[in-house]
A and B are shown apart, each in its own frame.
Chain A
Amino acid sequence: MFKNLNIWFISSLIVSIGVLIPIITVSLSFFEDTSNYYQILKETFLLEYIFNSLTLLVSVLILTFFIGTTCAYLVSFYSFPLSNFFKWALILSFAVPPYIYAYSLTAFFENYGTAFTILTNVFGEGTYNKHIPKFDGLLGAILSLSFSLYAYVYILSRASFLYQSQNQIDLGRSLGFSKLKSLYSLILPSARPAIVAGLSLVAMETLAEFGAVDFFSINTLTTGIYNSWIAFDDLAFSNQLSFFLLLFIFALFIIENLSRKKAKYHFNSKGGFKQKEKIKLSGKKSFFAFMFCFIIFFLSFLFPLSQMLYWTIKFPENFFDIDVVTLTLNTVYLVILSSIVLIVFSLISNYGNRVSKNKFLNFLSTLSISGYAIPGVILAVAFITFVAWFDENIVKSLGFLSIKKVFIGSILGLVLVYFVRFYSLAFNGIKSGYEKINISVDESSYLLGYSKKKTFMNIHVPFLRNSLLFIVILISLEIVRELPITLILRPFNFETFATTAYISASEDLLEAAAVPSLFLILIASFFIIITSKYILRESND
């Protein structure tokens, strides 16, 4: 089993086990005793929590599927005004986290909000409030999550559409299929794995969402997890709830996988692929395609951006209330530290897997990337649980000083939990880079006299340079937007744009949340713009 035992194998094993600790902590808590909070919850709100979570999940999945695949279909198969611009502009919605979208939605539609101001300026004084629709509660959360997350489905289904051969489309035509019939009986089923992959990311993000759901005061399982920990101090039950959430996600994956049976979705790379020709739209069709993409781009990106910009200009005093320089430095500090840790350990783990060719290690690595599926709140709580247990049972019993302060409420703890949460991003990013390097390249290198370390440093790292840059930017994007982990584990008086925006919004000072939100959107947009070509290209691979 351990025939190829070496330092790389051991390092890789340690990294995988390290990442798995919080995940194992969540799973083990399933067997622990809980307080009577479970009983209280069962008799009161548990059904409501489950109903709300399911409603939120199903609605967001339907909306993101519709928006994501329609946009991807239009920009992949048709040519219309600005279609090349929309191809990458539609990814910009990633720059707006659901909680900031929620602030924008409320700010615009609330009583005497931006919509009211616009109507007053255009039509004069009036009783507009009662006619302005209110997008709050569950509906607000569904819209916030859908417009923020559809890009997952868009990117992956677009990549899949690009790989669909003209032959397949021609085949549909020769069978007498209309464009619509080709879409639902040939194009969409072929792109099914990609669409499902996108939807599963949306599902994980939806179930893990904290900021928007909390802002709209909706009781979901995530809220329940947070409440059982914060209000009832019942860590075990909060972990159990999250374990149920995970089981639910895995069940969805399994059902989808089983339903596919043995269908294969890839093309033979040796032949049969014919480059697609985009159909040039004109007249009404062109207008509708343009309008659809524009409306989605407007609603998902321009709307929250302009709302935050408007408030920043309207209430300039808020700009001076926050220390932009410190917030930027804090964010940069976290980004640099986390990126270094994530890149170094993911490289080691990937290389260890590559040189060891060990099935057990491979299984552990696959398991360790599941941290991305665990809500940030839970990871933070699981981390605190583990540190507290380790401190009580190991450190103190050995007579050492408590280590709690080193890990809880410190940058180190924060970076470690980011590491667990975003490990799958770095690990999978490097893995996909590694898959492009034939194993015989390593072997050539060894036979030329390069050791494993030299092969790693001189051959692999230069090859992976572009992938690493891309991963750093993805990590930066995630950390800039990340809220619950930062909120729970940050050191005293250490703020980021996300926490500053959340704190202002939770104090009902939405105008004050505008400045940090605006900065957050701008920084995230910058990261997306410089990597957009890469995101679209990488997703093709």
Chain B
Amino acid sequence: MTKNFFEVKNVDFSVSGKTKVKDVSFSIKNEGDVICLLGPSGIGKTTILRTIAGLEKIDEGSIELNNKTLSSKKINVEPENRNISLAFQENSLFPHYTVEKNILLVENAKQFLGTRNL
């Protein structure tokens, strides 16, 4: 059986003792596959995306990409080293930079990051 390209396994995440998501699991079989995360408002879709991007640390379970563990109870790869992008709902431009500089920041980042995985 071939290993999945991306895998979220039994992920738990809580803030100040309050459980936000519990025992979440899903996978993406091949690189380039498009999946959709569906659910009612407040169920934790954004939270799951944030844990995948590394913006939140998980309490239990694991997140793996290309056979590499990005998050688990013990391991936490920093977001800047994950090579994962996320589009925010709200405006997150750098307010003190011009439009040009905002775009150049992305270009500069691409130079050292190469192509995005996810």
Contact = CB atoms under 8 A, between A and B. Distances in A.
Contact of A440 (B79, B81, B88): B88
A437 interface: yes
B90 A438 contact: yes
Given A446-B78, A447-B79, A448-B106, A440 B57 contact: no
Interface string A434-473: 0011101101111111111010000100110000000000
A3 interface: yes
A449 B93 CA distance: 15
A446 B55 CA distance: 8
A359 interface: yes
A440 B112 CA distance: 22
Contacts of B85: 447
A299 to B, nearest CB: 41
Interface in A361-388: none
Contacts of A450: 80, 109
A377 B16 CA distance: 41
A4 interface: yes
Interface string A463-490: 1000000000000000000000000000
Nearest to B113: A449
B79 A443 contact: yes
A454 B88 CA distance: 21
Contacts of A448: 80, 105-106, 109, 113
Contacts of B80: 446-451, 454
Nearest to B109: A448
Contacts of B54: 446
B84 A459 contact: no
Nearest to A436: B95
A359 to B, nearest CB: 7
Nearest to B88: A440
Interface residues of B, number: 26
Nearest to A357: B15
Given A3-B57, A451-B78, A451-B80, A444 B92 contact: yes
B91 interface: yes
Interface string A336-379: 00000000000000000000000100000000000000000000
B34 to A, nearest CB: 19
Contact of B55 (A441, A443, A459): A443
B37 interface: no
Given A451-B78, A463-B96, A443 B88 contact: yes
B94 interface: yes
A8 to B, nearest CB: 12
B88 A449 contact: no
Interface in B62-106: 78-81, 84-86, 88, 90-97, 105-106
A1 B97 CA distance: 36
Interface of A: 3-4, 359, 436-438, 440-441, 443-452, 454, 459, 462-463
B105 A447 contact: no
Contacts of B16: 359
B110 to A, nearest CB: 8
B8 interface: no
A449 B108 CA distance: 10
B56 to A, nearest CB: 9
A446 B92 CA distance: 12
A191 B27 CA distance: 55
Contacts of A441: 92-95
Contact of A459 (B57, B88, B94): B94
Which of A438, A441, A448, A459 has the largest count of B CB atoms less than 10 A from its CB?
A448
Contacts of B57: 3-4
Contacts of A437: 95
B53 interface: yes
Nearest first, the 9 A-B pairs at minimum CB distance are: A440-B92, A448-B109, A446-B79, A463-B96, A444-B92, A449-B109, A449-B113, A440-B88, A449-B80
Contacts of B95: 436-437, 441, 463
Contacts of A462: 96-97
Nearest to B105: A448
A438 B113 CA distance: 24
B86 A443 contact: yes
Nearest to A438: B92
B82 to A, nearest CB: 8
A449 B86 CA distance: 12
Nearest to A441: B92
Nearest to A359: B16
A262 to B, nearest CB: 24
Given A438-B92, A441-B94, A446-B80, 7 more contacts: A359-B16, A443-B86, A444-B88, A448-B106, A449-B112, A450-B80, A451-B80
A463 B81 CA distance: 24
13 contacts: A441-B94, A443-B53, A443-B55, A443-B86, A444-B88, A444-B94, A445-B94, A446-B80, A448-B106, A448-B113, A449-B113, A462-B96, A463-B96
Contacts of B113: 448-449
Contacts of B93: 441
Contacts of B92: 438, 440-441, 443-444
A441 B92 CA distance: 5
Contacts of A452: 78
A443 to B, nearest CB: 5
Nearest to A358: B16
Contacts of B96: 462-463
Contacts of A447: 53, 79-80, 84-86
Nearest to B97: A462
A272 B22 CA distance: 42
